[in-house]
Structure 1
Amino acid sequence: MQVKPKQRRRHSAAFKADVLVACAEPGASIAAVALAFKLNDNLVHQWRRGRGAPKALGVPSLGIAEAPPRFIELTVASAMLPAPAPPASPPSPTSETIALEFKYGTLGASVTWPVSAAADCAARLREVLR
């Protein structure tokens, strides 16, 4: 008995466009969309990145690399963090500072803190990273 290898399925540009539109819905999960269309979620991720995407239909690639960078302001509830103690003396413009940069994909945040208040910086970071 011979076992025939599975042949690759070919998907039309219209089918790919339908899948990508379903992925663009608010709150849509790639895994759920792939399951609904009986596809592997890795294949759908490839289509979203532009590999095999139907360009003839005008469906834009939804890849992260093409998203324009934007600033997202984060506010921290005052109940979560204790109020910082006022510094003994204001830091001079030439004093040393702690500079932290956090990046996640295209998003980023920068924090500068005076070295004289390093303990306060560490305490804040512990609270935020919990």
Structure 2
Amino acid sequence: MNTIEESAPARRRRRHSAEFKAKAVQDCLHRGVSIAAVALHHRVNANLLRRWVAEHQALDSAGEARALMTVPQAEFIPLQIGDPTPTPAIPDIQIEVRRGAATISIRWPGSAAAECGEWLQGWLR
């Protein structure tokens, strides 16, 4: 015997618009209304509608928390800036060289220490 079996069409998930979800959730938020009754009225699964309501309440509580958070305004803090302290003067470089009975005393400005070092190296060669 030849029998032809017709396979049932594949079930597709329904996609609900944001407006439909919002209307169903608003209907559930009225005092004394059963979520199951609203689900039957809108022809959706009650568990699905419960999930939509929970998501809506989570978004609302997050928004309320954000609204309650206060960020203090930054305040201007005046600073007292005194006169800059002058840098201490660099003392002069004093070199005293003795060779036998001869003594040489050299005074060089401290700001030109590098030149003094070069001169001293050349003199000691």
Normalised TM-score (structure 2): 0.41
Which structure: larger Rg? 2
Normalised TM-score (structure 1): 0.40
Q: If each structure's helix is expressed as a fraction of its own residues, which one has the higher value?
A: 2
Larger relative contact order, structure 1 or 2 (CA cutoff 8 Å, min sep 6): 1
